[in-house]
Structure 1
Amino acid sequence: MYDLTGFQRDLLYVVAGLDDPHGLAIKEELEEYYEKEIHHGRLYPNLDTLVEKGLVEKGERDRRTNEYTLTRRGRRELEARIEWETGYAST
């Protein structure tokens, strides 16, 4: 997790938190959080990086829509990050 950018970590949180994590839903959630447009050229390469690192699994819902889910490793990494953050934020 230490080698991820802040944006990639945010992607993990969003993928974990959405009931239906597909590209457009992830994009909309991040746009709401960042209060600016997230371009496809930023979103999808970063999702692909998370897939390559084994943190996210990419599946095909239909010919136009990909869906994303955390892998077991991704879930463990995210939980470890939350625990680490909580140790500092709760003081």
Structure 2
Amino acid sequence: MNDLSGFQRDLLWVIAGQDQPSGQQVKSELEGYVDGEINHGRLYPNLDTLVNKSYVEKGPIDRRTNYYAITDKGRESLRNRRDWENQYVSME
């Protein structure tokens, strides 16, 4: 997961928390967290990177829309990242 940007990690967290969201659903959810709008030219290349690195799988919903789903590799990477973060930050 250290090969991902912060934005890509955020995308991965959003995808992991939803049931096969479309790109637009991921965008809407993440825009509720970040300050500002996420444009098409930023969103889809980063989603494709997650697919190409096997963190996420992509499939068709209809002719124009794809879904995204976290893979086992993606879920394990998030778990490992959380464990690593927890070494340094205690939320108590």
What is the TM-score normalised by the length of structure 2? 0.93
- Note the aligned Cα RMSD (angstroms): 1.2
Name the structure 2 match of 1:90: 90
Q: Distance in 1 between matches of 2:26 and 2:52?
A: 18
Cα deviation 1:26-78 (Å, max 9, x = unaligned): 00011111121000100000000000001000010111111000111111111
Unaligned runs of 5+ in 2: none
Point out 4+ residue stretches in structure 1 off by more than 6 angstroms. none
Name the structure 2 match of 1:66: 66
Name the structure 2 match of 1:8: 8
What is the TM-score normalised by the length of structure 1? 0.94
Would you tell me which structure has more helix in proportion to its own residues? 1
Unaligned runs of 5+ in 1: none
Percent of pairs with identical residues:
60
Please state whether the residue corresponding to 1:4 is helix, strand or coil.
Answer: coil
Q: Distance in 2 between matches of 1:53 and 1:39?
A: 22
